Amino acid sequence: MASNPSAFLKENFIFHRIILVLLLSCTPDSTNLSYDSSSQESSPLSVPSKPLLRTLPLDGHFNFEDIQYAAKDFGGRYHNLPFAVLHPKSVSDISSTIKYVFKLGSASGLTVAARGHGHSLQGQSQAPNGVVIHMESLRQPKMRVHNGGSPYVDVSGGELWINILHETLKYGLAPKSWTDYLHLTVGGTLSNAGIGGQAFRHGPQIDNIYELEVITGKGEVITCSGKQNADLFHAVLGGLGQFGIITRAKISLGPAPERVKWIRMLYHDFSMFSRDQEHLISRKITFDYIEGFVNINKTGILHKWRSSFTPSDPLQASLFKSEGKVLYCLEVALYFNPHESNVISKRVNELLSELGYIRSTLVMSEVSLVEFLDRVHLSEMKLRAKGLWDVPHPWLNLLVPKRKIGDFAKEVFGNILTDNSNGPILIYPLNKSKWNNKTFLVTPDEDIFYMVAFLPSAMPSASGTESLERILAQNERIKSFCSTMLPEVKQYLSHYSTQEEWQSHFGPQWEVFVQRKLEYDPLAILAPGQRIFPRTSAKRTVARVQVT
């Protein structure tokens, strides 16, 4: 009796699929997956000579000297010197470079990393003895704003969000979703997610993209969208740079308001604080921006805000004491145009009347949209002036499901942390229904989940609570608690040391993640700083070719 052809093909496909996963899932020693954060340079690799790279026909150029800046990032803990830095002036510069590295094969060990504004945290934009691409040098295509029924802006992957804001405002338009800090590149935030106080309504930045141009790990230049090359489109958005380098993006725009009502208020009780946040993000008519902060044992919070905000009750505000307490700040904003002032004031009062904040702590301000969205930059300039910006930033970002946020807050804010004098702690809810589930961005499996971001700065030569060692130990305690008691918690801007941890992070998505890597970056050339896949060996490449 003849065998069933379809059954045979199905069985054969499954076998090949398993083999493919195993080839990239084999976990080498941890030293092959992570780099020593204390070293200034990684161990030498077999790389081509400088003259060979110099012969590539480019519109831009390579740098081989004075490239120490590319061995650092905002996190300030990992230092891996590249072999060269590419300053591209065209997309073909990046494509030609990656094609060259791909043709060298596995033996070279050469890797490529895209570096935006250098704001990554754990060496993700670094390429030890590899090639770092300085994406801010890429200014093609020239930024173009398209009006119409579905307006968008067409920009380079190396463009900064702050520049996009200024350009789109000329047309009365602006992107809908933002991060709190705008001096980041488009490619950088879209490779992660891009989360801020508008994400509860519009989703993260990766969910507001119409189209991308991507260069894969083979050097191919591919245009992709939700309808064209959709697998690559959804892989790259939130894909940590593993599948391609974003060189162009079409970003959705909406009407831009002129003014912003900016409001802050404090809570003693976490359950009331979280209840009010969840109420606001679930309301159809609500604020345009919603975030929260945790203040632990801070002195004179309201006094520090008064230069920017006006207390609703100055006398009561002057009597309020914050030291020795854990307080929760709800920060909200409502966008409007000047002719809407009366309507907006009524709406603000209506929304505030539904909340259970401490009445004496309500403070308000009115600013332009640019002043509001670019507010963190003012803090940056002050810190730079004091020499306190370029210090280690051992940040920890977590996504916590709603049903566990009370347990999380009780342990972390009640026991693990004693103060937060060296950086803000953000905490605010998000609606999963606004997020695209086709990307590799991992979130808790619950309708509402919280972003909790610990954003400390380790002061130079500091001891005690502001020392790097103390902050890192504190982070480990938080992660250990989550791993043991709250396994549903997921890391955002993820960082792990072993492939087993990455596999656990991605869970059921891991197999597809590996398949996409094999398809778009089969030699594991791209984004080595994420430490997900080791550079593919020649032996493994041959085995894979034989299997396929």
66 has catalytic annotation: no
Which H helix or E strand runs over 248?
strand 244-255
DSSP string, 423-449: S-EEEEEEEGGGS-TTSS----SSSEE
Which one from 79, 117, 119, 393 is the annotated catalytic residue? 119
Say whether 360 sits in a helix, a strand or coil: helix
Which one from 41, 154, 167, 180 is the annotated catalytic residue? 180
Which H helix or E strand runs over 198?
none
Residue 5, pLDDT > 50, answer: no
- Residue 241's pLDDT is what? 97
147 vs 81: CA distance, rounded Å: 44
Q: Any idea what DSSP says for residue 414?
A: I
Which one from 276, 291, 466, 521 is the annotated catalytic residue? 291
- Residue 74's pLDDT is what? 95
251 vs 206: CA distance, rounded Å: 9
- Residue 15's pLDDT is what? 40
- Per-residue pLDDT band for 57 (boundaries 50, 70, 90) equals very high
Residue that the structure tokens 């939130």 belong to? 238
Rounded to an integer, the average pLDDT of 241-255 is 98
Q: Please classify residue 24 by burial: count the beta carbons closer than 10 Å to its beta carbon, then call 0-12 exposed, 13-18 middle and 19+ buried.
A: buried
480 vs 486: CA distance, rounded Å: 9
- Per-residue pLDDT band for 243 (boundaries 50, 70, 90) equals very high
- Residue 2's pLDDT is what? 42
Say whether 311 sits in a helix, a strand or coil: strand
- E strand segments, 129-197: 131-134, 144-146, 152-156, 173-175
Residue 439, pLDDT > 60, answer: yes
Rounded to an integer, the average pLDDT of 497-503 is 93
- Residue 139's pLDDT is what? 84
Residue type, 415: N
More confident residue, 466 or 280: 280
183 has catalytic annotation: no
- Residue 40's pLDDT is what? 36
> Which of 361, 388, 353 minimizes the C-alpha distance to 295?
361
Residue 285, pLDDT > 60, answer: yes
- Per-residue pLDDT band for 386 (boundaries 50, 70, 90) equals confident
pLDDT single digits (tens) 323-347 = 889 999 999 999 999 999 999 999 9
Residue 23, pLDDT > 90, answer: no
- Residue 423's pLDDT is what? 87
Residue 6, pLDDT > 80, answer: no
Say whether 106 sits in a helix, a strand or coil: helix
211 has catalytic annotation: no
Contact 70, 117 (CB under 8 A): no
Give the CA distances from residue 305 to residues 226, 292, 422, 499, in Å, rounded to whole numbers and listed in that order: 44, 15, 17, 45
User: Which of 51-55, 190-194, 498-502 has the lowest average pLDDT?
Assistant: 51-55
- Residue 92's pLDDT is what? 97
